[in-house]
Amino acid sequence: MQQTAVPDLAHTHARPIHWVATATALSAVLALSSVLQPEPATAVQAGPETRPAPTTVTAPDPTGVEFPLECGPTKAVVQKKASGDLDGDGRPETVAVVRCDAGSGNPPSGVYVLTQGTADTPRVVATLVDPKERFSVSDFAVRDGAVTATLLGYSSTDVPSCCPDVTDRAKWQWKNGAFVRSKPSEARSV
């Protein structure tokens, strides 16, 4: 049997002095790291109590708004209102159905779009239905950036104002800087 001669390497044998040197070096590193500390962190992570509250934009309130409606001795009354972002700017508009507060009969309605003006004062920015057209408004809604309504009107001036005989459905959407009127698509069965 043949033996290979491998010289004894001094560094392969651990002696007590090696362990003492290693322990001393490790102790020195730990002691030095406790003395040399980094500067304290100054960044603050925003938690729920430090985050700014999201700003909510409220829809304009039609109460007290001067509508372009001539009512004579009576006052204008908001019959219906609905809000939504009609022009895609992230702020809601309010659409109001307004008519004169007549004691009897069926006074015509006006449909007006309000936006928040300066100093949080609502202002009329569009008239969708002018009361001079002699329509009454029913089935009114603001949904998906559009205004829809059923308009009740008259085929002639001979028809009494109590009894509208014409029904028209209308839809308004903001396009190219103006409200465009169209017929709403009807649901169809197959």
Q: 26-35, 45-54, 178-187: lowest mean pLDDT where?
A: 45-54
The average pLDDT across 114-131 equals 89
Smallest CA-to-CA distance from 147 within 81, 98, 65 is with 81
pLDDT value at 43 more than 60:
no
- Please give the residue that has the higher pLDDT: either 163 or 54: 163
Q: What confidence tens digit (pLDDT) does each residue in 91-120 have?
A: 999 999 999 998 777 789 999 999 987 777
Q: What is the pLDDT of residue 187?
A: 47
Q: What confidence tens digit (pLDDT) does each residue in 5-27 have?
A: 444 545 556 667 767 777 787 67
Q: What is the pLDDT of residue 163?
A: 86
Rounded Cα gap, residues 76 and 24, in angstroms = 93
pTM: 0.67
Coil vs helix vs strand at 34: helix
Q: What is the pLDDT of residue 180?
A: 95
The average pLDDT across 122-126 equals 93
Rounded Cα gap, residues 13 and 144, in angstroms = 82
Rounded Cα gap, residues 6 and 181, in angstroms = 100
For the chain, which residues make up each domain, given as ranges? 76-182
